[in-house]
Structure 1
Amino acid sequence: MIAPVRRDWSPKDLFNALTPAMFTAEPSVVRARWDRLWPELYTEYDARHLKKELCIRNLIKTNEAEAFFNAWAADEERHTDGFIQIMELVAGGSETDLRQRLNTRSHDFSAISEFLKDEFSLIVMIAFDEMCTCRAYAAEREFYAGLGNRRFLLWLREVIADEAVHSMNAVNVIRARYCNRVSEVGVILESLISGIADDTSYTGTFVLDYFGTAYTKELLANCRATILRNVAKPLTPAEQDGNNRRPN
Structure 2
Amino acid sequence: MITPFRRNWSPKELFDALTPAMFAAEPSTVRARWDKLWPDLYTEYDARYLKQELVARNLIASDEAAAFFNAWAIDEERHTDGFIRIIELVANGSEKDLRARLDARTHDFGPIVEHLKDEFSLMVIIAFDEMCTCRAYAAEKPFYDALGNNTFHHWLREVIADEAVHSMNAVNVIRARYRDRIDQAATILHNLIRASHNLRYSGTFVLDYFGAVYSKELLADSRLATMRNIAKPLIV
TM-score range, shorter chain: over 0.9
Cα offset, 1:79, TM superposition: 0.1
TM-score of the superposition, structure 2-length normalised? Answer: 0.99
Q: Return the alpha-carbon distance in structure 2 between the equivalents of residues 67 and 178 of structure 1.
A: 16
| Equivalent residue runs for 1:120-199 within 5 Å | 120-199=120-199
Aligned to 1:5: 5
| Equivalent residue runs for 1:4-153 within 5 Å | 4-153=4-153
Cα offset, 1:180, TM superposition: 0.4
What is the percentage of aligned positions where both structures have the same residue?
70
| Equivalent residue runs for 1:198-209 within 5 Å | 198-199=198-199, 201-209=200-208
Cα offset, 1:198, TM superposition: 2.5
Kindly tell me the number of residue pairs found equivalent between the two proteins: 236
Runs of 4+ in 1 over 3 A off after TM superposition: none
Aligned to 1:244: none
1:225 maps onto 2:224 in alignment = yes
Q: Return the alpha-carbon distance in structure 2 between the equivalents of residues 17 and 6 of structure 1.
A: 26
Deviation per CA, 1:64-87: give whole Å up to 9, x if none.
000000000000000000000000
TM-score of the superposition, structure 1-length normalised? Answer: 0.94
Structure 1: state its 5+ residue gaps. Answer: 240-248
Cα offset, 1:143, TM superposition: 0.2
Q: Return the alpha-carbon distance in structure 2 between the equivalents of residues 174 and 137 of structure 1.
A: 25
2:70 partner amino acid: N
Cα offset, 1:115, TM superposition: 2.0
Higher relative contact order (CA 8 A, sep 6+): 1
Q: Return the alpha-carbon distance in structure 1 between the equivalents of residues 234 and 38 of structure 2.
A: 39
Cα offset, 1:228, TM superposition: 1.0
Q: Return the alpha-carbon distance in structure 2 between the equivalents of residues 181 and 225 of structure 1.
A: 17
